């Protein structure tokens, strides 16, 4: 399975510290960013399984960052975390590629359940993709063998 990486993007130091402690204590490799630009830079340097994105950032909205990460890193699971929850924001975030939406203050158990669910879904998608690749290769090999027999 390997170590799973999580990028926390939030400009509130207390939240970053508490989420980092909780997730690293659960065995995740955790990096943090306080701006959207910093998060984009870090996502270019490493592959993250999950990005936890605050809606209010100093240089862009979390929704803008969500869109940019969705374009650049579609396999990274994106979880919006906000203290400014509204149905409109939740629907917009989910329509733009968010995989989950949590409201601050985040309950530690809810966060861990969400993270575990996102990891499981990501691994399931990877397994399905690998199975499709194997089936494609097997089918193509059979086709090539049949072509060789005809020659």
CATH code reported for the domain at 5-124:
3.40.50.2300
Predicted TM-score (pTM) of this structure: 0.80
**1 pLDDT tier (thresholds 50, 70, 90):** very low
Instruction: List the chain domain ranges.
Output: 5-124
Mean pLDDT of 114-136: 84
Helix/strand/coil (H, E, C) string of the chain? CCCCEEEEECCCHHHHHHHHHHHHHCCCEEEEECCHHHHHHHHHHCCCCEEEEECECCCCEHHHHHHHHHHHCCCCEEEEEECCCCHHHHHHHHHCCCCEEEECCCCHHHHHHHHHHHHHHHHHHHHHHHHHHHHHHHHHHHHHHHHHHHC
Mean pLDDT across 88-106: 88
Once rounded to an integer, what is the mean pLDDT over residues 93-109? Answer: 90
pLDDT tens track for 74-89: 889 999 998 877 778 8
pLDDT exceeds cutoff 80 at 126: no
């Amino acid at each position: 399975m390997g170590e799973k990486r999580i990028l926390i993007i939030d400009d509130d130091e207390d939240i970053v510290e508490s989420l980092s402690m909780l997730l690293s204590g659960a065995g995740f490799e955790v990096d943090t960013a306080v701006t959207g630009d910093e998060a984009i830079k870090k996502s270019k340097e490493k592959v993250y399984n999950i990005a936890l994105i605050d809606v209010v950032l100093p240089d862009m909205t979390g929704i803008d960052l969500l869109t940019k990460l969705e374009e650049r890193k579609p396999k990274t699971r994106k979880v919006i975390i906000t203290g400014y929850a509204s149905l409109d924001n939740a629907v917009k975030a989910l329509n733009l590629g968010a995989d989950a939406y949590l409201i601050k203050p985040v309950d530690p158990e809810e966060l861990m359940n969400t993270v575990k669910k996102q990891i499981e879904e990501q691994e399931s998608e990877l397994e399905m993709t690998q199975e499709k690749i194997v089936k494609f290769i097997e089918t193509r090999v059979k086709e090539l063998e049949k072509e060789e027999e005809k020659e």
